[in-house]
């Protein structure tokens, strides 16, 4: 219960001081409590596209990279596809898969071709 309250407080802090609260929510996605992880994910999605730059910086720093990439897949726009392609080339399989799934999600939402062609798109 305390972890869930912590996630709610982190969400409130993220609305006031995003540089702190978003990091706390990302950290909460590593909680052993499934409800806390789910709520942290939902809170980050609720914060929406306003925090894509901050989330991208956290992913680049290695903080919960795969989970952050999944959040970005739900909130980012096509403008972020090039940044996500770099993650898709990661040696870490979990990160590469998360990046490709995020690319697919963004493209599907935007009406752009899916990642089946994403490497071909990169070559053209």
Per-residue confidence (pLDDT) for residue 123, from 0 to 100: 47
24: domain range?
2-123
**Domain count for the chain:** 1
The more confident residue out of 40 and 112 is 40
Tell me: the pLDDT tens digits for 62-98?
988 999 999 999 999 999 999 999 999 999 999 999 9
Please state, in angstroms and rounded to a whole number, the distance separating the CA atoms of residues 115 and 97: 11
Closest by CA to 8, choosing from 39, 32, 51, is 39
Q: Kindly tell me if the per-residue pLDDT of 44 is higher than 80.
A: yes
State the number of CA atoms in the 13 A half-sphere of 86 facing the CB: 7
Q: What is the pTM of this model?
A: 0.83
Q: Please give the Cα distance from 73 to 105 (Å, whole number).
A: 5
| pLDDT on residue 103 | 95
3-state helix, strand, coil in the chain (%, to 5): 80, 0, 20
Going from the C-alpha of 117 to that of each of 26, 101, 107, the distances in angstroms are: 30, 13, 11
What local confidence, expressed as pLDDT, does residue 4 receive?
A: 86
């Amino acid at each position: 219960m305390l972890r869930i309250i912590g996630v709610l407080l982190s969400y409130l802090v993220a609305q006031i001081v995003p540089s702190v609260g978003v990091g706390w929510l990302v950290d909460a996605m590593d909680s052993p409590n499934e409800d806390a992880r789910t709520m942290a994910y939902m809170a980050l999605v609720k914060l929406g596209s306003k925090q894509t730059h901050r989330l991208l910086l956290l992913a680049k720093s290695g903080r919960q990279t795969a989970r952050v990439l999944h959040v970005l897949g739900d909130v980012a726009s096509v403008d972020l596809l090039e940044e996500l392609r770099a993650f898709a080339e990661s040696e870490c399989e979990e990160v590469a898969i998360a990046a490709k799934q995020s690319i697919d999600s963004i493209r599907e939402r935007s009406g752009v071709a899916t990642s089946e062609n994403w490497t071909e798109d990169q070559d053209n």
